[in-house]
């Protein structure tokens, strides 16, 4: 069967979108209530929903497509997507302090469970954690994991000024690893944002470099060695990481101060999963050839401005992939990773 054309079996498949953002109405209401005390600026944009700003980061306006589940299900049907793994995007909850951040995380995760119960065959959840309070985050891991439909966790590529390799987060990782659930990463506040204000570069360049930095810290910081069964998923096709891993590996080979890890960075490529949001058939083919088709997952970035509108067709129409590789990316890998 030719891999060059979307075919009948793709239409029969149950494609899973692992990169789909959601802002529940109840969570937005709580954000509006708790946020201003922690520096969040809030405004309603007429006809377009709320827009909020934390530090250099502006989100929204978060209109109906971000919020309304019926509109989402209709969009999924139109796209041929069977399942969304729902996640909170920017601004996460770390900036909101210990108590408010914890309340926001709990509210979001409870709303994920309600969404799943309303559409059990269509929606699952990636829970958010108040990582700024690691003791509360570790507690929320256990509580959230017991909620209906929660199939993983969603963290930023760094927690405010702390890298993900900070030992303060080890108890959180330990609990997640014990549950056998994956961690999905997503940039929030990006490096060098002052230089990236113009031309939408905060997203176009800042986000992919954030993912590369996070991956490097997880490798060189020893997190992947300490937690060998913990799975991390990098967004935006791994950002810059898969393309720069040879340079990181060269540093490990040539610098004694980087040889505290047993293996070089290339050996950790398969410790990560990667979504398909690279906006290029050859980017996805590169991941399949260099990392493996079993580590690539379909994503759309629903429903931000540069999201894929036809995520299934992006995979099914990629002539550089075999039919088996397409099928794995559309459905099989996510089903296995999320335990569906």
Convert the pLDDT of each residue in 224-250 to its tens digit.
999 999 999 999 999 999 999 999 999
pLDDT < 50 stretches in the chain = 1-8
Instruction: Tell me whether the omega of the peptide bond preceding residue 245 falls within 30 degrees of 0, making it cis.
Output: no
- φ/ψ of 274, rounded to 5, equals -135, 140
d(C-alpha 112, C-alpha 114), whole Å: 5
Domains of the chain plus CATH, in order, are 11-338 (3.20.20.140)
The edge-to-edge listing of strands for the beta sheet with 183-186 is 16-21, 83-87, 123-128, 150-156, 183-186, 232-234, 272-275, 296-297
Angle CA(241)–CA(242)–CA(248) in degrees, nearest 5? 65
d(C-alpha 216, C-alpha 159), whole Å: 15
pLDDT of amino acid 206: 87
pLDDT of amino acid 13: 81
pTM of the model: 0.95
pLDDT of amino acid 10: 52
The mean pLDDT of the chain is 95
Helix or strand run (H / E) with residue 123: strand 123-128
d(C-alpha 27, C-alpha 331), whole Å: 29
pLDDT of amino acid 234: 98
pLDDT of amino acid 57: 87
The edge-to-edge listing of strands for the beta sheet with 57-59 is 41-45, 49-54, 57-59
Q: What is the pLDDT of residues 64-103, one digit of tens each?
A: 999 999 999 999 999 999 999 999 999 999 999 999 999 9
pLDDT of amino acid 60: 87
pLDDT of amino acid 9: 52
d(C-alpha 95, C-alpha 97), whole Å: 6
Helix, strand, coil fractions of the chain, as percent rounded to 5? 50, 15, 30
d(C-alpha 105, C-alpha 93), whole Å: 7
């Amino acid at each position: 069967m030719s891999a060059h054309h979307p075919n009948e079996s793709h239409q029969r498949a149950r494609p899973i979108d692992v990169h789909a953002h959601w802002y529940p109405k109840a969570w937005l209401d709580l954000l509006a209530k708790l946020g201003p005390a922690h520096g969040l600026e809030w405004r309603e944009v007429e006809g377009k929903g709320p827009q909020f700003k934390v530090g250099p980061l502006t989100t929204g306006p978060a209109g109906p497509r971000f919020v309304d589940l019926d509109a989402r299900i209709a969009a999924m049907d139109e796209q041929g997507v069977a399942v969304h793994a729902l996640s909170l995007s920017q601004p996460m909850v770390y900036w909101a302090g210990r108590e408010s951040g914890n309340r926001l995380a709990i509210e979001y995760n409870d709303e994920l469970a309600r969404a799943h119960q309303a559409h059990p065959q269509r929606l699952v959840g990636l829970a958010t954690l108040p990582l700024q309070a690691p003791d509360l985050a570790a507690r929320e891991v256990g509580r959230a994991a017991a909620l209906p439909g929660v199939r993983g966790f969603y963290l930023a590529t760094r927690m405010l000024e702390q890298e993900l390799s900070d030992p303060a987060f080890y108890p959180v990782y330990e609990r997640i690893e014990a549950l056998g659930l994956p961690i999905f990463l997503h940039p929030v506040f990006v490096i060098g944002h002052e230089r990236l204000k113009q031309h939408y570069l905060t997203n176009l360049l800042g986000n992919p470099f954030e993912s590369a930095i996070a991956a490097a810290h997880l490798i060189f910081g020893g997190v992947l060695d300490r937690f060998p069964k913990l799975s991390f998923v990098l967004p935006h096709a791994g950002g810059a990481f898969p393309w720069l891993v040879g340079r990181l590996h060269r540093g490990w080979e040539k610098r004694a101060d980087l040889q505290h890890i047993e293996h070089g960075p290339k050996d950790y490529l398969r410790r990560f999963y990667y979504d398909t949001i690279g906006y290029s058939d050859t980017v996805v083919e590169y991941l399949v050839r260099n990392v493996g088709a079993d580590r690539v997952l379909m994503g759309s970035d629903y429903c931000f401005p540069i999201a894929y509108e036809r995520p299934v067709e992006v995979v099914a129409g990629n002539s550089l992939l075999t039919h088996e590789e397409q099928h794995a990316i559309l459905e099989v890998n996510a089903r296995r990773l999320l335990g569906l």
